[in-house]
Amino acid sequence: MARPVESGALRRAVLRANTHLLLTGVMLFQFTGMLLLAIRSDSFDLQALLFAAALPLTTFAVVKLYSKIWPVDRALLILTLMLCSISLVTLKDIARSSITPQTQAVYMLAGLVSMAIGIVFIRHVRSWDKLALPLMAVTFLALAAPLVVGSWQNGAKNWLKFGSGDALSVQPSEFGKLSLIFILASQLSNRPRFRKCLPSLLYAAALCGLLLFERDLGALLLYFLTTVMMFYAATSNLPITLAGLGMGVGGALGAYHLFPYVAKRIELFQNPWSDPLAAGYQIIQALIAIGSGGMFGMGLGLGYPRDIPLYHSDFIFAAICEDFGLVFALAMLGIYVLILMRGASVAMNARTSFHALVAFGVVALLAAQTFIIVGGNIKLIPLTGVTLPFVSAGGSSIVSMMGAMGMLLGISSLNAGDEAEDLRRLEWREGSL
């Protein structure tokens, strides 16, 4: 029978080999995709060729650097970088100009910095309870600011714009998701009674109210679902969880009758062909694009994703289906599933309830956001304005989600450190026998 230490070493060797294979596959996808885009037209695309060289090198350097500094879950990191690669290849294929993929690459570099900050933050900050209250105040003020000085964009007043010509645009609700996870984890850890949970739940409800008045229905739904799932994970209180879901349904019905824009969203979901040239145009074009792509897609540059409004953000899943096909889109969703499974494993192996809840909150957020945007694109649920994590264009989205993934990787590194320490102790005990 194999000794525990030997079994642990064998398991690590197998995992190392698998991650090397996974990394090689991601780098090949990056190189091949960008190279095909470089030579697809009569005029050679130098930018795509530069991406073909830079993307694999950057991915390799990031994986090696992060793994050397921290014992992070490399498979989780590589899968995240794969989704970012799909984003760049897709945006390079369908962008109206060379600016969009270039800008997205800059956002992703900022996201890598955000990821590193998330790792350091979760590994070294200890005074969770002391940070929760100031963070609650800052988050509430940040989400309330667009109501006063924000600007309307795509039917929602949830943007803060700075500089001449709106040089910098920030969506506070994107970063508020991370703070909400942190606040709920700090307040709900150690399985508190419902009375002690009530302040954090009322706070989450207040944030949802702000988002309702800002017409940011996608963020509102994300905040609500994340809160409900984290509460149930922390307390296992099914009756109160079901009551919370019931209150959410009641609130949705109330919003349907009180706010005309909510009623319009529901009506378009039921029958987008009632207004095919105006309000229903985007969902109709998305469905046409998905159907046109078939199983294997129309090919790079051969589809018409630009006919879809917001094809680079809210409807990027439909654009991917048209150019790459249903098989590729399902494979991409499989990557999300693998990330969720790895994230769930990180949560279950966490040594403290706080870290477990943070990890679970990130997993819940990622699952809910992916479901909402994909479900909206295929007309499974009413359309709401959220981005496909790591894939849709946008600075606030990519930076915040990479920061969330950084917190998850930070917890995985703490788990790995604990496991290594356990193995060292086991080796010492066996050596002393």
Residue 14 lies in a domain: yes
In terms of Cα–Cα distance, which of 340, 343, 366 is closest to 415? 343
Residue 247 lies in a domain: no
Judge contact between 407 and 71, C-beta under 8 A. Answer: no
Tell me what the mean pLDDT of segment 365-380 comes to: 91
State residue 301's pLDDT score: 64
State residue 11's pLDDT score: 55
DSSP state of 386: -
State residue 322's pLDDT score: 87
Residue 315 lies in a domain: yes
Query: Is the predicted pLDDT of residue 90 greater than 80, yes or no?
Result: yes
How many residues are there in the chain?
433
Residue 337 lies in a domain: yes
Query: Is the predicted pLDDT of residue 426 greater than 60, yes or no?
Result: no
Residue 156 lies in a domain: no
Does residue 270 sit in helix, strand or coil? helix
The string of pLDDT tens digits covering residues 310-324 is: 777 778 888 888 888
Query: Is the predicted pLDDT of residue 428 greater than 60, yes or no?
Result: no
**% pLDDT > 70, the chain:** 86
Is pTM, for the whole model, over 0.85? yes
Q: How far is CA 88 from CA 26, 30, 78, 125, 431, in A?
A: 13, 9, 15, 33, 52
Tell me what the mean pLDDT of segment 239-243 comes to: 89
Q: Over the chain, what is the mean pLDDT?
A: 83
Residue 171 lies in a domain: no
299: buried, middle or exposed (CB in 10 Å: 19+, 13-18, 0-12)? middle
Query: Is the predicted pLDDT of residue 65 greater than 90, yes or no?
Result: yes
What is the number of domains present in the chain?
A: 1
More confident residue, 352 or 302: 352
Q: Which domain holds residue 320?
A: 4-125+254-432
